[in-house]
Chain A
Amino acid sequence: MTGRRAPRSLAALGVAVGLAFALPFGSLVVRTAADPAAFTRRLGSEELVGPLLRTVTLAGLSSLGAAVLGVAVAWCLVRTDVPARRVLGVAAALPLVLPSFVAAFAWISVFAEGGLLQELLGFGRSWRLRGLGPAVVILTLISYPYVYLPVAARLAGLPRSVEESARALGAGPVRVFATVVLPGIRSAVAAGTLLVFLYGVSEFGAVSLLRYDTLTLRIFATRLLEPEAARVMSLVLGVLALVVVAAERRVAARARRSEPVAAGGPPAVARLRFGRAPVVAFLVGVVAVALVVPVAVLARWAARGLAGGRDLLGRGAGLGELAGPTAQTVGLAVVSAAAAVAVVLPVAYLTRRFRARTGEVANLFVVAGFALPGLVLALSLVTLTLRAPLLDALYQTVPLLVFAYVVHFGAQALRAGEVAVEAVPERLREAARSLGAGRLRRFATVEVPLMAPMLAAGAGLVLLSVAKELPATLLLAPIGVDTLAVRIWSAAAEGFFARAGLAGLVLVAVSGLLTWWVTIRRVEHLRG
């Protein structure tokens, strides 16, 4: 498996992809390098160090939380016979599509003094959600699908034969999980956890409402007044991401590689008897807190608008007015998800099959693209497109917007893609080769079908992220492009809650259908 050199065309493709992903970060470096004195001055300032530590704390703790929660949810949904599995499977992925400022606003208003909880119960205590603790909890709840989706896809693909043998040899369920299942899903867990960390690093909406003073908050506070400071802080975020990604690669390289899938039949499913009630309660609880609470708040806003007697839903006819934004959201999300998977696959091949150094470098930049705040990334793409000959024709067009989405969220597809490449067993490829199948034919008929569930999990993550993306959409979309996320922001920012609620509900519903179509049904298909 190792030692073979990557085909030259693949290596070239990988380098090209890596360069494209490095563009925003590269332009930050170039602009900062123009004034090195300012850079060093900022670097030591207390305005940077404290927020940086808080950023790392928040991202670290929430990625731990999301790893545990994501694996638990995935295992319960794929490996047990809980009822309503499909509905729960889709619902468990959906917290990812909630714009973080909506989710945070909802949770704050539920738990606050005089909030929804007290209103419903008629009594009780209240919590003022702010600072590290609530930020970790809320980020965990929004971002655990980064772990859940890839791990579920991986769990569904692991052969039952090994687990059955282990069981036949007398190992209990905990031991089977720890010694057989966990090594199999380890790379998927690591991939998802890293994504949560990077998400936490660049998150703005929730931390700003929760007043947790991270670097992104400082970037937004200074972006207009002290642009140079904002640039240095963005660069520090990018470097932090590179360091973390590189460190993760070293650890991952030392760890044993995960077991490839084999045609060993559908995965083992534990028949729950006495354990059924707690498992169901756990899943319902997670979905209730992570999804139902924010959705209930959205529904309450929308209901107030529909019932209010005044035309709170504004000029258009409410739902009908959302048809256009819905179609555009779906179009952009599906196209970007497919593009992201296609673009990062060469890099995944380079790193996992050929262990090529070019692949590792490309991988660094692909993954780091996720840690830059969307606003920073969008602004640097503006500069680059307008200053580069020929490229300026692309300015404010759909292709550039899709490119921005791919650069921003490609990491989500790459991590899943790497796990997918690893999951193709060598002997199947050898068998196809010995039967005389050419490289492309082997790829299309043997590898892609085997990788499909993992690739789909990656695509699902990108899709949900694009559906809620705001800053790049606002700055880079052609005028007239109008997505549901833009509608939610536009309404909520000025207190048009009824309109924001309605658009939010449509976003959640449409994303649910898409997640089913792209990801969950594939996992279900494997599970048999």
Chain B
Amino acid sequence: MPATRLRTQRRFLRAPAAVLTIVVIAAALTGCGSGGGERITVYSGRNAELIGPLLERFARRTGISVDVRYGESADLALLLGEERDRSPADVFISQSPGAMGYVDGRRLLRRLPDRILDRVPARFRARDGDWVGLSGRVRVLVYNRDRLTVSQLPVSVLDLTDPRWRGRVGIAPTNASFQDFVTALRTLIGEDRTRRWLEGLRANDVRTYANNVAIVEAVGRGEVDLGLVNHYYNERAKAENPGVRSENHLFPAGDPGTLILVTAAGVLRTASNPAAAERLVAFLLSRGAQEFFAAETFEYPLAAGVDPAVEDLPPLADIAAPDVAFDALGDELARTRRLIRRAGLEG
């Protein structure tokens, strides 16, 4: 065997060892570097791009260091469910009430003090006081402005089963926000009508997508003319590409198609520093943070009397929110999912 190859071989073994050393040292340094002082751990289902700056601001203002684990809300809820009493988390921020309901249903949350709860209207917080809404995303109809004008759009979300829209509508049936919408629909128009509406969509050759981003893309390029999404995504698409052909449209106030879905925060029973954890939740409901949600994520602020920054949004009071028993949310969502699946829309 040539000597050069043996030397190569030894180098091959040495390099990973060197990298490992560097990783271990780096990990040790980051672990020890910030020692001392108060710190809290946040599990955030809300994306780093959308809430990171706020958490940094909180850390700067209060001197409390914030460690954040980001992930999908559902996955973090499952993680909390596995960790149970061993969780390092102090605060859970969920992008949807469903994931928060899962955590609450396993009795992992501690009740928030009234001074925090009272900042938010009762319909945007848990009845048992275990979590509170931070901001609200609005469900909208996104449409392609080359294909349709505002006056041609359907008057109600329930009209999307009209043959006129055959093959022209996109939905994301496995996405949490669509499921939350259908849950609300069940409470607003009843189980039977909801089922018929879903079956009507299916019969109308509705197009299914994986998520909101994919729907907005598809509407923007004209693959479908209409889509049911959250407000935020088209604003984002416009920022990325000002020439995009998709526009948001709100159904008139009172229509079940216009609906608020809340992002929620709760403090865990395992919190080693509940006072600091509650301070973070209170901070997220402060005027500055609520203005951030209005301006940066195009949402409805829920507290501190801050108005939405996006034009044409109707007043918060005029918009429906899913009125379901939050303790039973897990079961409700499971029923919603079965309804969607039986209508043949899940695939």
Contacts and interface: CB of A to CB of B under 8 A. Distances in A.
A480 B30 contact: yes
Given A213-B347, A224-B99, A480-B30, A334 B16 contact: yes
B240 A496 contact: yes
Interface string A379-394: 1001100100000100
B50 A494 contact: yes
A221 B337 contact: yes
A126, A217, A301, A475 interface centre (most CB from chain B within 10 Å) = A475
16 contacts: A112-B221, A221-B346, A223-B78, A224-B98, A225-B337, A310-B239, A314-B49, A338-B17, A382-B79, A386-B86, A445-B6, A474-B69, A474-B70, A475-B79, A479-B67, A480-B30
A495 B6 contact: no
Nearest to B235: A495
B189 interface: no
A211 B223 contact: no
B174 A217 contact: yes
Contact of A448 (B9, B23, B30): B9
Given A225-B330, A495-B233, A113 B16 contact: no
B62 interface: no
A17 to B, nearest CB: 19
A327 B75 CA distance: 26
A105 interface: yes
A450 B236 CA distance: 54
Contact of B75 (A208, A375, A480): A375
Nearest to B13: A338
* Chain A contact residues: helix, strand, loop or mixed: helix
A114 B221 CA distance: 5
Contact of B8 (A304, A498, A525): A525
Contacts of A392: 86
A115 B79 CA distance: 38
Contact of A379 (B1, B78, B220): B78
A334 B19 contact: yes
Given A479-B41, A490-B47, A449 B1 contact: yes
A211 B79 contact: no
B74 interface: yes
B240 A312 contact: yes
B275 interface: no
Contacts of B232: 494
A114 B222 contact: yes
Interface stretch (B127-135, B154-162, B210-218, B253-261): B210-218
A306 B222 CA distance: 26
B77 interface: yes
Lowest 6 CB-CB distances: which A-B pairs, in order? A114-B221, A338-B16, A213-B347, A495-B236, A114-B222, A331-B23
Interface string A483-498: 0001000111111111
Interface string A213-246: 1000100111111110000000000000000000
Contacts of B218: 112
A208 B210 contact: yes
A379 B15 CA distance: 31
Contact of B213 (A211, A446, A495): A495
A474 B75 contact: yes
A211 B210 contact: yes
B182 to A, nearest CB: 13
Contacts of A312: 239-240
B174 A379 contact: no
Interface in A294-344: 301, 304-305, 308, 310, 312, 314-315, 327-328, 330-332, 334-335, 337-339
Nearest to A518: B12
Contact of B82 (A330, A331, A339, A386): A386
A183 interface: no
* Chain B contact residues: helix, strand, loop or mixed: helix
Contact of B78 (A47, A126, A224): A224
Given A114-B222, A221-B337, A224-B78, A495 B86 contact: no
B272 interface: no
A71 B158 CA distance: 53
Nearest to A332: B23
Contacts of B1: 445-446, 449-450
B334 to A, nearest CB: 4
A220, A221, A332 interface centre (most CB from chain B within 10 Å) = A221
A478 interface: yes
B38 interface: no
Interface string B193-221: 00000000000000011110110111011
Given A128-B223, A398-B24, A480-B67, 19 more contacts: A114-B221, A114-B223, A126-B223, A209-B210, A227-B81, A335-B20, A379-B78, A383-B82, A445-B6, A446-B1, A449-B6, A490-B70, A494-B50, A495-B216, A495-B233, A496-B49, A496-B236, A498-B240, A499-B49
A397 B28 CA distance: 10
A150 B1 CA distance: 22
A448 B1 CA distance: 11
A213 B233 contact: no
A220 B176 CA distance: 11
Given A105-B214, A304-B241, A494 B49 contact: yes
A406 interface: no
Nearest to A475: B79
Contacts of A223: 74-75, 78
Interface string B26-56: 1100110000000001000001111001000
A13 interface: no
Contacts of A494: 47, 49-50, 213, 232-233, 236
B16 A337 contact: yes
Contacts of B309: none
Nearest to A54: B347
A495 B16 contact: no
B237 interface: yes
B83 interface: yes
A476 to B, nearest CB: 9
Nearest to B18: A334
B28 to A, nearest CB: 10
A109 interface: yes
Contact of A492 (B48, B78, B81, B213): B213
B223 A112 contact: yes
Nearest to B5: A449
A190 interface: no
A111 B275 CA distance: 53
A225 B334 contact: yes
Nearest to A301: B240
B102 interface: yes
A379 B83 contact: no
B333 interface: yes
Nearest to B68: A479
A479 B208 contact: no
A329 to B, nearest CB: 11
A396 interface: yes
Interface string A36-63: 0000000000010000000000000000
A128, A449, A491, A499 interface centre (most CB from chain B within 10 Å) = A449
